[in-house]
Amino acid sequence: MLNKRLEVIWSLVDSSSNPMDLGCDHAYLAIELSKKCNKVVASDALEGPLDAAKNNIKNANRNNIEVVLADGLDGYRDYIDTLIISGMGGLSMIGILDRHRELLPRFKKIILSPNNFQEEVRRYLVKNKFIIEEEKLVKSSKFIYQIISFIPGKGGYSDKEYYLGVKLYKEKLANEYFSRLLKENEIILRVLPKYKFIFKKIKINKKIKYLHEILSKIT
C-alpha cells in the first residue's frame, strides 16, 4: 500500500510513539502506523482527501486513528509526540511549524520530507532546539526525495551540512542525488546575466564547491 517514500517514513516512526500524519491525504501511512503504534492522528485541511481517508480507515478496520479536519497544527492532540509532514514545500512546512512554535517542545521526534528548501528546514529546526537524528534518500519515479528525522537537542552544523545534510552522503542514492544538484547549480550559474546577481552567484559557487567536495568523498 505504501510507496517507497512513505515506507521509509514509516520505518523512522518508533512503535512506542503516538504520531500525527499532517496532510495525511488518503491516510495510507496512518493506517500502516496504526498497526504498530497505540494512537495515530490523520489530519488534513481539505475535506475531499479526508473523506477518502475515512473510507480507507473504515475498510482497513482500524479503530485507533483519529481523523481531524484542521489547518496545520490546529488539529494537534495532547497525546501526540511525533509529527510527520511529507510531500510539500520546505517553506510551507516551516510556516506550519512556526504558527504553532509553542508546540515544538512537545514532540520527541519530527519527521519531514520537504520537496525543496531542505537547507532552510534544517536551519529552522536546529534554531528551535532540534538536531538531526537520521537522513534518507528515496527515489520515486524520476525524483529523489530527502527524508529528515529530527529529535530534541542542542547543536549546530556547518553551512555545508545544512545544505547537503549530515548523513545523506552514506545513502546509496547519494552519488546520483548530489550529481543532479551539481548539474542544476551549474545550469543556474550559466543562465544568470554576466554582471548581475553577484551575491547569488557567490552563493551558488559555494554550493558547487560543497558538491564537488562531497562527490569526491563518495566516489
- Which strands sit side by side in the sheet containing 82-86, from one edge to the other? 65-69, 40-44, 19-22, 82-86, 109-113, 143-152, 130-140
**Quick one: pLDDT at residue 58?**
96
**Quick one: pLDDT at residue 141?**
85
Share of the chain above pLDDT 70, in %: 100
Cα dihedral 168→171→173→178 (10° resolution)? 30
The pLDDT-based confidence of 195 (bands split at 50, 70, 90) is: confident
Assess whether pLDDT exceeds 80 at residue 6: yes
**Quick one: pLDDT at residue 12?**
98
pLDDT mean over 28-35: 98
Task: Tell me how far the alpha carbon of residue 4 is from its chain's centroid.
Answer: 14
User: For residue 112, how many C-alpha atoms fall within 13 Å in the half-sphere facing its CB?
Assistant: 28
pLDDT mean over 51-73: 96
Do 146 and 165 contact (CB within 8 A), yes or no? Answer: yes
Question: What's the whole-model pTM score?
Answer: 0.96
pLDDT mean over 66-93: 97
The residues, any chain, with a CB within 8 Å of residue 124's CB and separated by 6 or more, are 94, 97, 98
- Mean pLDDT is lowest, of 48-52, 66-70, 161-165, for 48-52
pLDDT mean over 138-161: 96
**Quick one: pLDDT at residue 84?**
98
Cα dihedral 178→180→186→189 (10° resolution)? -100
Do 215 and 186 contact (CB within 8 A), yes or no? Answer: no
Rounded CA gap, 62 and 81, in Å? 20
Does 19 or 217 have the greater pLDDT score?
A: 19
**Quick one: pLDDT at residue 214?**
97
